[in-house]
Amino acid sequence: MDQTQVAKELGLSCMLNTEVGAVLAVIRRGPESSSQFYHHPEEHCDVSILQSLKSLRAFLFNPQQEWRRIDPSLYLSPFLDVIQSDDIPATATAVALQSVLKVLRLGIFDETTVGAKDAINSAVTAVTGCRLERTNLVSEEAVMMRILQLLTAIMRHRASVLLTDHAACTIVNTCFQVVQQSASRGDLLQRSARYTMHELIQIIYTRLPDIEVKDWENSDSDTEDNNLDSGYGIRSAVDIFHFLCSLLNVVEVETEGLTSQTADENVQFFALVLINSSIELSGDSIGKHPKLLRMIQDDLFHHLIHYGACSSPLVLSMICSIVLNLYHFLRKSIRLQLEAFFSFVLFRIVSPGSSLQLQEVAVEGLINFCRQPTFIIEVYVNYDCDPTFRNVFEETGKLLCKYAFPTGGLSTSIQIQALEGLVVIFHNIADHIDKENDPSPTGPYPVEISGYRPFWEEKSKDDDVETWVDYVRVRKVQKRKILIAGNHFNRDDKKGLEYLKISQLISDPPDPKAYAVFFRYTPRLDKTMIGDYLGDPDEFRIKVLKEFTDTFEFTGMILDTALRTYLEAFRLPGESQKIQRILEAFSERFYDQQSSEIFVTKDAVFVLCYSLIMLNTDLHNPQVKKKMTEEEFIRNNREINGGNDLPREYLSELFHSISTNAIVLHGQSGAGAPVEMNPNRWIQLINRG
């Protein structure tokens, strides 16, 4: 080595020597913040810790080779031992944390250094295992601040690419623990903890676009990847994203008729900000990893829709931003979820009944979507022209027109916003019109439906623009006719179904599947009339019942969840024979799709379904004074499974599910009945995808 390099190496030795001396000095001073030194420090802490520090000091000025070639564990381990020790005072722990922080920031080693992987992961183990409850409040906060700084330094270090997925998750979990503990401490510590959490999320998800999709992501296996040399990656990204989504799971309790949220809204908003940051940094790459995509489609959207409809303006604003980002990056993968968000959050809040502040946020959310260059066209084609979806574009326009209409006096802010939204829509439509080359007639475009077409199966056959436009126009006409048929059906079922034939939406002779799809997906149909039709003994209607039941996917569901999902689509009729026919169709479908093979025959499913309905009536009918017990329910269902008993745990789970959450058998069922996004309806939505 030349003289310059020798001087540099000696400088590093001096720096490490200073850190060793600082730690030893604080240890000798003892647990209290006094200047009285202990003559026998070995009586107050682990002797091996002192010995390792002294051995390191002896090694420092005779390393035999450059520091960047030395195993980092040799000079990090003594400090890490101090951090993990329960016998060391908090002041010494803080100094040891500062020493490790200095080593990392100086970049003495990197990812190419021998032993770097073990060293960096050992540092994570030591720091995240550091006990925070020490002596006094000031010392504890000092340790917490050092931990936050060190966690960030580890993730920013060049050797961080060697961290395992477990280590990355542990770092985030430890940081969040500090966030929680800081809530009862100083404001500075809390702000620092939240800022550190932001930094960690940014570091982790900035890497996502560079991570290759692995085969394990397409399976449900949780086994570790044998090749750990590549460092943390998609596994930790999935686990951390799941953790962030779980923070949105606010528990609600009812008190004197009111619903109150037991979790701090600040935590919920904080989680939303972190989720939004992870989506922004990941970009469209987040949709390339199947497990992350499924989590967004199911867990995340479920939380966003559930809490968006009953949140504060601040939380709703952040939810709208998240959904807008998801639309930008994943629009092709979240078609069903976007419709649900508009239907159950934005449209509901904009309707009368919500506070003015919430309505303003919802209108702003709608306008932000409309500002996206292709949003208007995409929404019209994918929703308004699809018979199985809601008219999202049409309803958006109607709502904005309603709020923009002057009511006399000075214009309100929401009126101005709504008018701005309408202008944005008109501009977007005008920008996509090619007036010079557009061969379309200036008047209404004539659309004819020649012959029967199974509307639920139709797809555009080629990529030709003119053919595709004709296809979309036909779909829109079909949808209008289906909605008209639905209105007729609610007044007279025979007239409604006859209108389907006249409109050539039903084949001649009639196709049971077309009727089934009409009942299953047409919005605002009277559910009581659907149930009466499906339970009828007519041979053709029995075929419709079979096709209708086959539109449901029950794979992986427990029986009561499947039954709830099924009965969401119609109201069970009162006549016992009709109930029997419907439950027989359901039992056959559920039996064919069961994966656990609990039931040996479909008859066992049928008997248990009847038993569940009786239990539901018994437990939730106020006129029934003596309620059925769990033991009575289990006893009533003995030997129904081909002469054998069903598993007791399975029956017990069904009993508790029914007792805590009634199956809706009756109630509002007309065209105007209010609809909430409940768990069963969410399961239906996910299964449609």
Q: Around 587, how many Cα atoms within 13 Å sit in the side-chain half-sphere?
A: 20
Contact at 8 Å (CB) between 234 and 282? no
| Token pair for 341 | 């968000």
Separation between Cα atoms, residue 319 and residue 315, nearest integer Å: 6
Give rounded-to-5 percent helix, strand, coil for the chain. 65, 0, 35
Contact at 8 Å (CB) between 527 and 666? no
Closest CA to 657 of 626, 630, 621, 623: 630
Closest CA to 476 of 502, 447, 456, 498: 447
Residues facing residue 375 across a β-bridge: none
Task: Please tell me the total number of residues recorded for the chain in this structure.
Answer: 689
Indicate if 378 belongs to the active site: no
Contact at 8 Å (CB) between 549 and 535? no
Separation between Cα atoms, residue 519 and residue 25, nearest integer Å: 80
Straight-line distance from the first to the last Cα atom of the chain, in angstroms, rounded to the nearest whole number? 65
| Token pair for 568 | 């969401």
DSSP letter, residue 448:
-
At residue 219, the 3 state secondary structure works out as coil
Cα separations (Å) of 305 from 16, 259, 301, 318, 342?
54, 17, 6, 12, 9
Separation between Cα atoms, residue 82 and residue 59, nearest integer Å: 18
Give me the phi and psi of 253, to 5 degrees please: -125, 145
Q: How many CB atoms lie within 10 A of CB 296?
A: 24
Contact at 8 Å (CB) between 366 and 393? no
State the Cα angle at 450 between 445 and 455, rounded to 5°.
Answer: 90
509 preceded by cis ω (within 30°)? yes
Residues facing residue 253 across a β-bridge: 260
Separation between Cα atoms, residue 501 and residue 491, nearest integer Å: 17
Separation between Cα atoms, residue 588 and residue 567, nearest integer Å: 15
Q: How distant is the alpha carbon of residue 327 from its chain centre?
A: 14
Closest CA to 88 of 129, 41, 52, 127: 41
Please identify which of the residues 224, 575, 631, 639 carries the catalytic annotation: 575
Instruction: Report the amino acid identity of residue 138.
Output: V
Separation between Cα atoms, residue 199 and residue 191, nearest integer Å: 12
Closest CA to 418 of 429, 432, 407, 430: 407
Which string of b and e fits 302-325 if b means at least 16 CB within 10 Å?
bbbbbbbbbbbbebbbbbbbbbbb
Handedness of CA 393, 395, 399, 401 (dihedral sign): positive
Which residue has 């460092």 as its token pair?
A: 231
Cα separations (Å) of 220 from 240, 243, 302?
17, 18, 21
Separation between Cα atoms, residue 531 and residue 508, nearest integer Å: 24
What amino acid positions are annotated as catalytic residues?
A: 575
